[in-house]
């Protein structure tokens, strides 16, 4: 079992998707490259926020991700 990246993009979109995924009872791991770069003193607009879930949860989360992608 490992982590699978399900989203990479802006912080606002990542937070919206994270809420939708957590609403169905799946934990999300967030890697915020934007915040890390800012705290390190070398901001970069190309960096993004990434969301990860357990691979075993993908079948449960996939419909939520597809619905989210269609809505943006």
φ, ψ for residue 6, nearest 5 deg: -115, -10
Tokens 């991700």 belong to 65
Lowest-pLDDT range of 18-22, 32-36, 53-57: 32-36
Question: Smallest Cα–Cα separation from 43: which of 32, 55, 56, 51?
Answer: 32
Structural contact between residues 55 and 26, judged by C-beta atoms closer than 8 angstroms: no
What is the separation, in whole angstroms, between the first and last Cα of the chain? Answer: 30
Domain 3-71 = CATH 3.30.200.20? no
Read off the pTM. 0.82
pLDDT greater than 60 at residue 47: no
Q: What is the pLDDT of residue 48?
A: 84
Domain ranges of the chain: 3-71
Q: What is the pLDDT of residue 5?
A: 96
Structural contact between residues 50 and 1, judged by C-beta atoms closer than 8 angstroms: no
Q: What is the pLDDT of residue 31?
A: 92
């Amino acid at each position: 079992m490992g982590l699978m990246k399900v989203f990479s993009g802006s912080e606002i979109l990542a937070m919206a998707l994270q809420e939708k995924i957590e609403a169905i009872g799946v934990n999300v791991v967030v890697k915020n490259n934007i915040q890390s770069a800012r705290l390190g003193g070398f901001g970069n607009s190309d960096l993004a926020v990434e969301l990860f879930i357990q691979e075993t949860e993908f079948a449960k989360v996939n419909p939520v991700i597809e619905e989210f992608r269609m809505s943006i």
